Every structure is written in structure tokens, then in C-alpha cells.
Amino acid sequence: MTDPSPALFTVGTRGSELALVQATATEAILRAAFPHLQIARKVIKTTGDRRTDVALAEVAKAEAIFDKGVFIKELEQALDDGSIDLAVHSLKDLPTVLDPRFTLASVLERAPIRDALVTRSGGGFESLASGARVGTSSVRRAKQVIFLRPDLQVVDLRGNVPTRLEKMLDGGHYDAILLAEAGLVRLGYLPDAAAASGPEPVLDMPGLFALRLDESVFYPAAGQGAIGLEIRANDSRALVLAEAIGHPATWLRVTAEREFLRLLDAGCHTPVGVYSTLTGGVLQLKARVFPEAGGAPQTSQAEGTDPLAVAKSLFDSLQ
């Protein structure tokens, strides 16, 4: 492909280990598609990275970020002032409704979507003793833990993936923690595919084991495992570049998942699990939604070929 413009193209990213791996992957795909493209990187510290003194679900309130985009605010500011041309996100961190100045241009091919339970014993939820402490910063994960095991304690857990694993390893505060399988794979803590159905050793973390949780039992977040590329809405050059490296099947799936959240008016910290599969051109969408007033969650599914129609059908089935 021919670069639509010789000007420098700047990629913006958070500074965590996982974010940098995702930025590196994005830049490599861009270079493969546009060999003459000049790419620079700008590392930006976001509100979510800076505010580790309060629970993640409370950061937006503490910082008056009402769209709940605690990991994107500063990246969008950099897009707005022109210091970056493309922002690389973990898609699950990106709100479903963006400021009109910005747009989600494309997504890269998706990594595994499941959550993983990390323990020192190598078991699943059934192996945890009553009262065991499970660490997570996600309301969705916390709600599902209590739904599956009401006798467990959910304890707030902040930090990047290596930091969370180190906290688990020291044994002081957590009996188990929950992390995204995609992050563990991208950082080299787990192989791309599970060798067996049971717990696996966490590489470079002796004494820790990870169990990849069946998505039909422990529902993932919308967009989990996908890398989203955000640009200025009026930037035609960035749009050409981003769309050229996008992955159509992943785009179809995450469009349905994010549209379902939009219809629910749900944000990044709303307790909703939703995931999709795409087989033979047929999209299947499943969701578990926890009511704000409390009580048992609603679970439903829908299928079809149009992602927006499938999302609407799933939304209607829960009304």
C-alpha cells in the first residue's frame, strides 16, 4: 500500500507494559502495510494510571470524568491538540459513546476474550475456601464472583498486570485475582492457546497458576481482547491508515457488543458481561446484566448477520 501522506504519524499510548505491547503491535502492522510511513510514539499518563489511591470504579467520580473514560481522557486531549494522530486503546476501556470530535476507526484482530482466575493452589472458584479474598478492580467481575460464590470476599486490586501478579505472589492480601486472558497472553505469562483444560503455570511467576474461565460461565467485558484505534473524526489520512490494518471479523463482533452496551446506556464500569461468536457469517451475542437495584442478573442471547440488529434484538429480549 502507498502511504497517503509522507508526514510523520504519531501513535499515542498509555505507559503500562500491556499498553506498550499493544502499541508495538499496532506500529508493526502499520509498518508492514505502509513501509515508508514515518511513525513516532508518544507515551501519555492517563487519569486511571495516576489515580491508584481509590477504587477504579470511583476514579471517574473523583476526577469528575462523567463519561467514565478514565483511561482515555488524556489520550483524547492529545488527539485534539494534534500531538498524536492515533490513540491505541484496550477496547474495553473505551466508552461506547465518544465525543463527536473523535471516532473509533478500526480494531485489530482480537486476542482471547476470556477472564482468568489466578491462584497459588491451581484451582478454580470451587477450590477457594469460604471467605477467600478475590482481587479485582472491575465491577463486572466482582458482581459475577458474588453471583457464582456469594461466600467469597471481593477486594479492590489496582495496578498493571505485572504489579497485580506480584501482589498475588506475596500472599498477603489475596487468595485469588482475576485478569484478562488477553493481557496475560500478550505479556507472555500464558501461551496463546491452553495446553489443557485445567490450570496452567503463570510463566515467570513461580507458584502462580491461571485458569482460563469459560466465557459462558464467567461473561467477559464488551470488546475484551480487542485493540481499538481512535482518531480525530475529521482526519481522513488517519482513517485510511487505521482502516487498512483493521480486522473485519473482529469489527463485526465488537460492533454488536458495544452497540448492546450503548442501548443499555452502560459504561466501562457497569456490571454487564457480553460476548459474541461468529460462525459461518452468523453472529451470536450473549449477555449477563446485573440490575442496578441488585438481585439476580438477566441472561439472554440473540443471533443474526447484522451486528446492530442483533444487539437490538438482545436488548429487547431483556426488557
Does the pLDDT value for residue 71 go beyond 80? no
Does the pLDDT value for residue 174 go beyond 90? yes
State how far the alpha carbon of 301 is from the alpha carbons of 130, 225, 285, 312, in Å. 32, 20, 5, 11
Q: How far apart are CA 316 and CA 311, in angstroms?
A: 9
Give me the pLDDT at residue 5, please.
66
What is the full DSSP assignment across 49-116?
HH--SS-HHHHHHHHT-TT--TTTHHHHHHHHHTS-SEEEEEGGGS-SS--TTEEEEEEPPP----EE
Q: Regarding the domain delimited by 9-108+226-246, which CATH topology (the fold level of the hierarchy) does it fall under?
A: D-Maltodextrin-Binding Protein; domain 2 (3.40.190)
Q: How far apart are CA 167 and CA 172, in angstroms?
A: 8
The residue to which cell 461473561 is assigned: 219
In this structure, the number of other CB atoms found within 10 A of the CB of residue 35 comes to 10
Q: How far apart are CA 116 and CA 263, in angstroms?
A: 28
At residue 59 the predicted structure's pLDDT band, cuts being 50, 70 and 90, is very low
Query: Residues 65-89: what's their mean pLDDT?
Result: 84
| Spatial contact of 184 and 166, defined as CB atoms under 8 Å apart | no
- CATH number belonging to domain 115-212: 3.40.190.10
What is the residue-averaged pLDDT of the chain? 90
Does the pLDDT value for residue 64 go beyond 80? no
At residue 53 the predicted structure's pLDDT band, cuts being 50, 70 and 90, is very low
Per the structure block, which three cell numbers stand in for 286?
450473549
- Looking from the CA of 94 toward its CB, the CA atoms found within 13 Å total 32
Does the pLDDT value for residue 244 go beyond 80? yes
Query: Residues 190-211: what's their mean pLDDT?
Result: 92
Does the pLDDT value for residue 193 go beyond 70? yes
Element of type H or E holding 201: strand 200-201
Does the pLDDT value for residue 50 go beyond 70? no
- CATH number belonging to domain 247-319: 3.30.160.40
Per the structure block, which three cell numbers stand in for 69?
473514560
Question: Integer distance in angstroms from the first to the last C-alpha of the chain?
Answer: 47
Query: Residues 181-198: what's their mean pLDDT?
Result: 92
Strand order in the sheet with 102-107: 39-43, 9-13, 86-90, 227-232, 102-107
Residue 107 amino acid letter = V
Give me the pLDDT at residue 16, please.
92
Per the structure block, which three cell numbers stand in for 2?
502507498
Give me the pLDDT at residue 267, please.
58
Give me the pLDDT at residue 293, please.
76
Per the structure block, which three cell numbers stand in for 271?
456490571
Q: Where are the domains of the chain?
A: 9-108+226-246, 115-212, 247-319
At residue 48 the predicted structure's pLDDT band, cuts being 50, 70 and 90, is low
Give me the pLDDT at residue 294, please.
78
At residue 291 the predicted structure's pLDDT band, cuts being 50, 70 and 90, is confident
Contacts of 186 (CB under 8 A, 6+ apart): 18, 21, 22, 25, 111
Give me the pLDDT at residue 27, please.
98
Give me the pLDDT at residue 268, please.
54
Q: How far apart are CA 16 and CA 49, in angstroms?
A: 8
At residue 56 the predicted structure's pLDDT band, cuts being 50, 70 and 90, is very low
Positions annotated as catalytic residues are 93
Pairwise pLDDT comparison (268 vs 189), residue with the higher score: 189
| Spatial contact of 276 and 256, defined as CB atoms under 8 Å apart | yes
Whole-model pTM: value is 0.90
In this structure, of 256-260, 267-271, 300-304, the range with the lowest mean pLDDT score is 267-271
Query: Residues 233-248: what's their mean pLDDT?
Result: 98
State how far the alpha carbon of 209 is from the alpha carbons of 46, 160, 161, 205, in Å. 30, 18, 14, 9
Contacts of 88 (CB under 8 A, 6+ apart): 11, 12, 13, 19, 22, 23, 26, 227, 228, 229
Pairwise pLDDT comparison (65 vs 271), residue with the higher score: 271
Pairwise pLDDT comparison (9 vs 58), residue with the higher score: 9
**Neighbour-count burial of 142, counting CB atoms closer than 10 A to its CB (0-12 exposed, 13-18 middle, 19+ buried):** buried
Same fold, 9-108+226-246 and 247-319: no
Does the pLDDT value for residue 8 go beyond 60? yes
Residue 57: which of 224, 219, 198, 267 has the closest Cα?
A: 267
Give me the pLDDT at residue 54, please.
46
Residue 56: which of 113, 118, 135 has the closest Cα?
A: 135
